[in-house]
């Protein structure tokens, strides 16, 4: 029996090697298709218009023209204002979201109260509502609150998220049962237990919520497009969509603005890749 197995593996190994080479080749082709456009776009931020237009096109820049390009971008678009608005939207949404959603998640995971399951299912059901269905009424609501083109209008409707509640609740449930009993005996208040004992224990989940929420806001297009259409309220996403949308023929503008708008998220991804991946892999796709 064992001899037979050995013979078999020796026979296959040639075939196996070929198979392995094919697999690696396929994986590398996909990686190439994925990386080339992004790298070429980023490198475009360093090229002069003449270089971009030269034929045949060169992949790598000859000299560094980034400073000129950046100056040109700023003379056309107020990039710093866009970056500021996007940061306010992203951080202004994410920080309250971490607090509001984890607090609700904590109640669902660690308390017993009447109607708990019904309320939780109602919360989850809001995840099923496609944004397109509520976008017009939501716009009208923000309009009647006089929140159009304000940070309030951008931020407040986006804070509560059943998705984050679901994610945090699962993590709170995994903590040992008697943690809060001990803290209560020590005379700690319920809010103190949540803030000082429970939150630090689900830190990885909180980091995931933080990163994914920042990323969602940074890249969000439809909502800023609707409620922050005034020039000085635009975020990077809708601002660049409006400015560059019809003007990709202004090459250095398009290359440089796109590259710069992407860098903050790229840095977050390079440092915290495992949180991004874990967040998506465990809870599926959002939106």
Which residue, 17 or 23, has its beta carbon nearer to other proteins? 23
Q: How far is the CB of 248 from other proteins (least distance, A)?
A: 5
- Interior/surface letters 241-255, b for 16+ CB within 10 angstroms, e for the rest: eebbeeeeebbbbbb
Nearer to other proteins, 79 or 109 (CB): 109
> Residues 264, 148: contact at Cβ < 8 Å?
no
Query: Does residue 25 belong to the site contacting other proteins (CB under 8 A)?
Result: no
Site for other proteins in 73-102 (CB under 8 A): 100-101
**Residue 129 binds to other proteins (criterion: CB under 8 A):** yes
Distance, in Å, from the CA atom of 234 to the CA atom of 228, rounded to the nearest integer, reads 5
What's the length of the chain?
A: 287
* Token pair for 275: 């949180």
Q: Which of 137, 185, 186, 200 binds other proteins (CB under 8 A)?
A: 137
Asked if 60 touches other proteins (CB under 8 A), the answer is no
Binding mask 160-199 for other proteins (x = CB under 8 A): x-x--x------xxx--xx-xx--------xx--x-----
Residues 101-120 close enough to bind other proteins by CB under 8 A: 101, 103-104, 106-114, 116, 119
Number of chain residues interacting with other proteins (CB under 8 A): 104
Stretch that binds other proteins, among 60-68, 72-80, 199-207, 254-262 (CB under 8 A): 254-262
Token pair of 62 as six digits: 């000859």
Residue 269 binding other proteins, by CB under 8 A? yes
Q: Crossing angle, helix 236-245 and helix 203-219, to 10 degrees? A: 30
Q: How far is the CB of 67 from other proteins (least distance, A)?
A: 21
102 alpha-carbon distance from chain centroid: 18
Which member of 91, 135, 195, 201 binds other proteins (CB under 8 A)? Answer: 135
How far CA 66 is from CA of 45, 48, 61, 178, 287, in Å, comes to 6, 8, 10, 58, 35
Q: Is 120 helix (H, G, I), strand (E, B) or coil?
A: helix
């Amino acid at each position: 029996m064992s001899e037979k197995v050995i013979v078999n593996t020796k026979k296959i190994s040639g075939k196996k090697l070929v198979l392995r080479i094919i697999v690696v080749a396929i994986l590398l082709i996909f990686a190439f298709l994925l990386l080339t456009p992004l790298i070429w776009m980023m490198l475009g931020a360093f090229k002069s218009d003449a270089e971009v237009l030269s034929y045949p096109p060169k992949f790598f820049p000859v000299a560094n023209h980034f400073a000129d390009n950046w100056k040109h971008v700023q003379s056309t678009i107020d990039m710093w204002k866009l970056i500021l608005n996007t940061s306010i939207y992203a951080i202004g949404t994410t920080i309250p979201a971490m607090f509001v959603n984890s607090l609700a998640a904590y109640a669902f995971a660690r308390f017993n109260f009447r109607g708990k399951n019904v309320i939780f299912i109602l919360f989850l059901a809001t995840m099923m509502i496609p944004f397109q269905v509520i976008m017009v009424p939501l716009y009208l609501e923000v309009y009647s609150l006089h929140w159009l083109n304000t940070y309030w209008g951008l931020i407040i409707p986006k804070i509560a998220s059943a998705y984050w509640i679901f994610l945090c609740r699962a993590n709170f449930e995994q903590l040992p049962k008697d943690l809060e009993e001990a803290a209560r005996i020590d005379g700690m208040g319920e809010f103190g237990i949540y803030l000082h004992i429970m939150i630090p224990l689900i830190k990885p989940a909180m980091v995931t919520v933080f990163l994914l929420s920042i990323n969602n806001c940074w890249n969000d297009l439809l909502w800023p497009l609707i409620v922050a259409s005034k020039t000085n309220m635009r975020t990077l996403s809708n601002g660049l969509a409006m400015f560059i949308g019809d003007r990709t023929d202004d090459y250095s503008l398009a290359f440089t603005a796109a590259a710069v708008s992407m860098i903050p998220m790229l840095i977050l991804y390079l440092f915290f890749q495992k949180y991004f991946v874990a967040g998506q892999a465990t809870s599926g796709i959002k939106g």
